[in-house]
């Protein structure tokens, strides 16, 4: 006679083994399909880049022919051939052949693209072949690791099932039911049943901590997605509108030049926003190593030197009191981002021929700039909040400063006294 838990565990074990057996070929086809799809997209981008780069040269047909001949010699996996009649459609294929970049015998798989390009208003066929990494080895590793965890899971279940009874598992079943009913988007806190079993009590405490962390991550990711989607719409709309106008014109005029310039500005801004949003996401997910010892004073002087051109342009009077040998432990790129964001914020919001005061000691870093009225502290560190009519920034600089300080266990404070905005970072 076997108890119910043993019977159900046996069925689950058989089912899990069947799923595992079916997953191996699924891994193979899925990984291979993903790699081929990514290679197709990569080949298309390469084809566009090759076409654009040749057209941007503005060379004669004779020079073009020589360039194409030279290109075909140095790029055995990317050939350009002149044709009278373009291809009806692009061709994508997979072949096995000798790898031209290896000296020994090596038959590799290549993903190819045969597409039409136009250079100097003449039709050419471009053939691109990119080496495909073998999927078999990857799938074997995945299968071995999956099998290992499968065996650990099954053996653990059988051993535990022999030692535990249904009554002992009752707190676990209660916890399991509550976890099943938990919805992340509802963000409701789960109250687990109290138990005198240490393991279950620790499990409940760990799960509670994990769920709270998951809720915070979910909220941050949701905010990141919404902010990115909202803020990127305007520059994207500008680019689309200007591109449409540009495409309707036959030759570039002065007006079209200004349109292209506006497109470039919008593109720069959207790139900056995207970069800053990604940086915020990485900081919130603790994806940086904070163990490096950094000379804060040296880094500060370097950043100030890099921004001298902007300071001179606005004729700002910069005074400083920077102590030497101020070292902090953290991530160099994040510390540099913090310094740059505070300096750029001060420069951008300081009027012509006004002043900035920079102070650094072992206890903190302070930067003060001239101003007319205090800023709203509730909106100051909020993403995409605007404290002035200046729209040249991304609206994320001070949010990045705040997140870096949180990661470093520092504090950042804002104050306004004697017509001066002051940001103080305490180490």
Last residue of a domain, one of 287, 313, 346: 287
Tens-digit pLDDT profile for the chain (427 aa)? 555 556 666 777 787 778 777 877 787 788 788 888 888 898 899 889 988 988 888 888 888 888 888 888 887 778 888 888 888 888 998 888 877 767 777 777 888 999 999 988 889 999 998 887 666 677 677 778 877 877 887 777 777 666 666 667 778 778 888 888 777 656 677 888 888 888 888 888 888 888 888 777 777 776 766 566 566 667 767 776 776 777 666 676 777 767 777 777 777 777 777 777 777 777 776 667 777 899 999 999 999 999 999 899 999 999 999 999 999 998 888 999 999 999 998 998 888 889 999 999 999 999 999 888 888 777 788 776 665 555 555 668 888 899 889 888 899 999 998 889 999 999 9
∠312-314-318 over CA atoms, to 5°? 60
- Residues 380 and 387: beta-carbon distance below 8 Å: yes
Could you tell me the CATH number of the domain that includes residue 416?
3.30.565.10
Residues 276 and 131 in one domain: no
Boundary residue ending a domain (287, 303, 336): 287
CA dist list (Å): 127 to 3, 130, 133 = 66, 10, 19
Q: Residue 213: which of 235, 187, 179 has the closest Cα?
A: 187
Are 283 and 296 contained in the same domain? no
Please indicate, yes or no, whether residues 352 and 283 belong to a single structural domain of this protein.
Answer: no
Helix (H) or strand (E) holding 129, with range, is: strand 122-132
- According to the model, what pLDDT value does residue 226 have? 59
Residue found by looking up tokens 């001239």 in the block: 370
Task: Note down the domain range covering 247.
Answer: 169-287
Supply the pLDDT for residue 304: 93
Whether residue 248 is found in the same domain as residue 343:
no
Query: How far is it, in rounded angstroms, from Cα 133 to Cα 127?
Result: 19
> Any bridge partners for residue 213, and if so which?
none
Which of 163, 184, 219 lies at the terminal end of a domain, its last residue?
A: 163
Helical (H) or strand (E) element with 334 = helix 332-348
Rounded to whole angstroms, the Cα distance separating 367 from 320 reads 9
Which residues touch 16 (CB under 8 Å, ≥6 apart)? Answer: 150, 153, 154
- Rg for the chain, CA atoms, rounded: 31
Residue 71 · residue 52 · CB < 8 Å = no
Mark whether 282 and 331 lie in a shared domain. no
Name beta bridge partners: 118. 123
421 shares a domain with 309: yes
Q: Please tell me the distance from the alpha carbon of residue 142 to that of residue 137, in angstroms, as a whole number.
A: 9
CA quadruple 181, 187, 193, 199: dihedral sign: positive
CA atoms of 189 and 266, how far apart (whole Å): 43
Structure tokens at 258: 């200004």
Is 357 in the same domain as 233? Answer: no
**The total number of structural domains that make up the chain:** 3
85 with 107, same domain? Answer: yes
107 in Cβ contact with 122 (< 8 Å): no
CATH of the domain at 83: 3.30.450
């Amino acid at each position: 006679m076997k108890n119910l838990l043993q019977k159900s565990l046996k069925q689950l074990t058989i089912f899990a083994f069947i799923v595992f057996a079916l997953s191996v070929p699924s891994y193979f086809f899925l990984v291979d399909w993903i790699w081929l799809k990514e290679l197709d997209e990569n080949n298309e981008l390469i084809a566009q880049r090759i076409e654009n780069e040749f057209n941007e040269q503005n060379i004669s047909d004779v020079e073009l022919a020589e360039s194409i001949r030279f290109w075909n010699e140095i790029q055995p996996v990317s050939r350009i051939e002149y044709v009278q009649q373009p291809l009806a459609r692009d061709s994508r294929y997979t072949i096995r052949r000798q790898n031209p970049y290896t000296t020994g015998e090596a038959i590799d798989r290549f993903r190819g693209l045969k597409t039409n390009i136009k250079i100097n208003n003449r039709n050419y066929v471009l053939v691109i072949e990119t080496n495909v990494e073998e999927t078999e080895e990857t799938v074997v590793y995945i299968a071995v690791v999956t099998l290992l965890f499968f065996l650990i899971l099954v053996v653990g279940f059988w051993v535990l099932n022999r030692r535990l009874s249904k009554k002992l598992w009752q707190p676990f079943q209660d916890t399991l039911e509550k976890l099943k009913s938990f919805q992340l988007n509802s963000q409701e806190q789960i109250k687990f049943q109290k138990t005198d079993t240490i393991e279950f009590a620790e499990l409940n405490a760990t799960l509670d901590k994990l769920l709270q962390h998951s809720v915070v991550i979910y909220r941050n990711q949701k905010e990141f997605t919404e902010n990115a989607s909202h803020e990127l719409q305007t520059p994207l709309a500008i680019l689309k509108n200007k591109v449409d106008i540009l495409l309707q014109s036959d030759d570039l005029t002065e007006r079209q030049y200004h349109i292209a310039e506006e497109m470039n500005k919008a593109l720069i801004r959207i790139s900056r926003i995207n970069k800053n949003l990604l940086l915020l996401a990485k900081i919130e997910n603790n994806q940086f190593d904070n163990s490096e010892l950094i000379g804060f004073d040296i880094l500060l002087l370097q950043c100030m030197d890099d921004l001298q051109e902007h300071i001179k342009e606005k004729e700002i009077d910069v005074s400083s009191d920077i102590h030497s040998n101020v070292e902090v432990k953290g991530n160099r790129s994040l510390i540099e981002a913090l310094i740059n964001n505070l300096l750029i914020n001060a420069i951008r919001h300081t009027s012509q021929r006004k002043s900035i005061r920079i102070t650094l000691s072992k206890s903190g870093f302070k930067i003060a700039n001239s101003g007319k009225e205090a800023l709203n502290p509730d909106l100051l560190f909020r993403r995409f909040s605007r404290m002035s009519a200046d729209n040249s920034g991304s609206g994320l600089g001070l949010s990045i400063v705040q997140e870096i300080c949180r990661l470093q266990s520092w504090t950042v404070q804002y104050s306004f006294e004697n017509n001066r905005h002051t940001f103080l970072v305490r180490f």
